[in-house]
Amino acid sequence: MNHFSLAFDVGTTNLDGRLYPAAGDSPAAVIRERNAQRRWGADIISRIQFANTNDAQGALLQRTLLTQIAQMTTSLLAQAGGGVVDRAVLVGNTAMLHFLCGLSVKGLGAAPFAPSSFFGSHITWGELWGAPDQTAAIPPEARVFIPPCTGAFTGADLTAALTTLENRKGIDAPFFLADLGTNCEVAFHGAGQEGTILAASAAAGPAFEGGAVSMDLPGSALVTALAAALDNGRIDRTGRLAPQAADGGSGFTQGDVRALQLAKAAVCAALAILAGEAGDPSLRDAPLYLCGAFGDAIVPAAAARIGLVPARFMGRVIPTGNAALDGAALMLGDGDAQQAAMCIAGRTRPVELAADPRFPKAFMDALDFSENL
């Protein structure tokens, strides 16, 4: 029987999985699906509110997620010609991991936003599944590692992405990172492998992943289309559609524009505050790595045109793939990578934007579609 390892990025909007052979660095199969939990809310806050209504609804979110992962794993194994999963690494934001493990999210629903767990531990699939009707795709004894989170909204996906960049040749700190998705996470990594790390989250909503907009385009294509509409005058810098565009000439509705406007302002403001928090003048030359499926496909010039990233990063924006999933894959067979993730989490200081008095102004300043932010 063929034996495999499984890496999953459990996102708010999408689930991404890879199946790796026992010996080998290249995946035998890959899969992506929309998160089936979306029927109970497109964003994390909606799902937290749903889960906090009663215990049965929280259990429903967990069972939905575990069942979907098991079904996706069955599809991965079919692509690879059959076999069994021996071990897995699952990453995601803090709330998604609480849903996955069936933990209470009451502490994530209101200030001071205290998670039930920061994870960074091993568990078996049987302990996760918690029922006698085990799935054949993942046996109950399969070992699962969930890397550590660093805050209520800076999760194991960000830790995994930072682990990837620390291990990738040609990348030296200091650098900035933005994992662009429904729950955008941003980080600043100080100089050296032992540098201090600052991390924050920005609630962008599902627009970057093609949700909450009427156009049937991926997020990166939406950003490119929006930049073009700004250049040809169909949308002004405040986000208002020109009369001819409002009649359908741009392909955007006013609601589409506002959803993207709010999302990009949250990310831009978060990056601006982290840059100010780092406070080192030498950061003028630090690159910004964009990761996630959306971040990897985005055209940097289009991101700059709509003001998604502050002007200080012009010419230094580098798409870098799904670094969170890459980090999960690194940790599958490498205890050193798992230990590195634990060390990264220990060096990370969360910056709580919701309580930061600078954030409202930074957010308002970033709402305009302007390259001069």
Which of 201-205, 293-297, 313-317, 358-362: highest mean pLDDT? 358-362
49-58, 191-200, 261-270, 349-358: range with lowest mean pLDDT: 191-200
More confident residue, 262 or 220: 262
Query: What are the residue ranges of helices labelled H in the chain?
Result: 44-53, 55-79, 94-101, 125-129, 156-167, 219-231, 243-244, 254-278, 292-297, 300-305, 323-330, 335-347, 359-365
Query: Which residue carries 């979907």 as its tokens?
Result: 68
pLDDT of residue 282: 63
CA distance 268 to 251: 25
Do 138 and 21 have their domain in common? yes
pLDDT of residue 48: 96
In sequence order, the 6+-apart residues with CB closer than 8 A to the CB of 279 are none
Structure tokens at 336: 């050193």
CA distance 29 to 15: 14
pLDDT of residue 276: 86
CA distance 120 to 334: 15
First to last CA, the chain: 57
pLDDT of residue 38: 94
Mean pLDDT of 224-253: 83
3 state SS of 44: helix
pTM of the model: 0.91
Neighbours of 174 (CB within 10 A): 18
Do 7 and 53 have their domain in common? yes
pLDDT of residue 246: 57
Structure tokens at 30: 């890959």
pLDDT of residue 212: 62
Residues β-bridged to residue 19: 6, 29
Q: Which domain, by its residues, includes 222?
A: 161-324+354-365
pLDDT of residue 214: 73
Q: Could you tell me if residue 370 is inside a domain? A: no
Do 16 and 63 have their domain in common? yes
Mean pLDDT of 182-204: 86
Mean pLDDT of 283-306: 84
Do 206 and 320 have their domain in common? yes
pLDDT of residue 284: 67
Nearest Cα neighbor of 162 from 113, 202, 199 is 199
CA distance 30 to 18: 4
Q: What is the pLDDT of residues 108-124, one digit of tens each?
A: 998 889 999 999 999 99
pLDDT at 247 over 70: no
Q: With 0-12 CB in 10 A as exposed, 13-18 as middle and 19+ as buried, what is 114?
A: exposed
Do 132 and 165 have their domain in common? no
Burial 314-342 (b: 16+ CB within 10 A, else e): eebbebbbbbbbbbbbbbbbeeebbebbe
More confident residue, 309 or 360: 360
Q: How confident is the model at residue 63 (pLDDT cuts 50, 70, 90)?
A: very high
Which of 5-14, 175-184, 213-222: highest mean pLDDT? 5-14
The average confidence (pLDDT) of the chain is: 89
Do 67 and 193 have their domain in common? no
pLDDT at 203 over 70: yes
Residue 276: CATH number of its domain: 3.30.420
Looking at 102, 122, 149, which one is the last position of a domain? Answer: 149
Do 302 and 165 have their domain in common? yes
pLDDT of residue 7: 97
Looking at 149, 181, 214, which one is the last position of a domain? Answer: 149
pLDDT at 140 over 80: yes
Q: Could you tell me if residue 155 is inside a domain? A: no
Do 142 and 186 have their domain in common? no
Do 216 and 300 have their domain in common? yes
Kindly list the strands in the beta sheet with 84-92, ordered across the sheet, starting from the edge strand earlier in the chain.
29-34, 14-21, 3-10, 84-92, 143-148, 119-124
* Cα four-point dihedral sign 17, 288, 362, 301: negative
3-state secondary structure 124-144: EHHHHHCCCCCCCCCCCCCEE
pLDDT of residue 162: 97
Q: What is the pLDDT of residues 65-99, one digit of tens each?
A: 999 999 999 999 999 999 999 999 999 999 999 99
Domain count of the chain?
2
